[in-house]
Amino acid sequence: MVLGFNHNVQYKGEIFHIQTEDSGVESPHITTLLYRGGTIVSSKKTSYADIIKVDDLDKVVEELMKEQHKDMLRRLKAGEFDERAFGGRTAAVSGESADVSDAQPDAQPAPPELSSSAPTVGTNKKQPSLDEIILDYLVAGDSE
């Protein structure tokens, strides 16, 4: 059983945290929360009580969790929460890209996006973190 997914995401110069968890078969629902600075910006709760007796329930629930987690990320990147997250002010850094980061809210700004080509010798480009690789994989899985 997967207990949950947690990612810190940099979007428009701010750190957002996406958390998805399963409450288990005793209370069969998946909850995803989107935080900015400790404040909940959005939440989504999905019941799976109607499929509780399905074969391989753990795998099915894990896939539902991944999809709900990715959906929250997509909605963030699409600007759906901009008004709630930023109010009437403009974000510190514009742009629609979201990069997974281990950074905390008081950390330095994220480095520019990494290209898909290998870094050249002598450059100081940061290698993607495991979270970045996993998130890229999850988001790329949409076309499957």
Residue 142 DSSP symbol: G
What pLDDT does residue 2 have?
A: 75
pLDDT digits (tens, 9 = 90+) for 82-138: 999 998 665 544 443 344 433 333 333 443 333 333 333 444 456 666 666 666 666
Q: Which of 90, 25, 15 is nearest to 61 (CA)?
A: 25
Q: Tell me the C-alpha distance between 4 and 30, whole Å.
A: 9
What pLDDT does residue 95 have?
A: 40
H helix runs in 1-144, sequence order: 57-77, 82-86, 130-140
Q: Tell me the C-alpha distance between 6 and 33, whole Å.
A: 10
pLDDT above 70 covers a percentage of the chain that reads 60
Q: What is the pTM of this model?
A: 0.63
How many helices (H) and strands (E) would you count in the chain?
A: 3, 5
Q: Tell me the C-alpha distance between 109 and 93, whole Å.
A: 9
* Of 64 and 87, the one with more pLDDT: 64
What pLDDT does residue 123 have?
A: 43
* Contact of 3 with 19, CB cutoff 8 Å: no
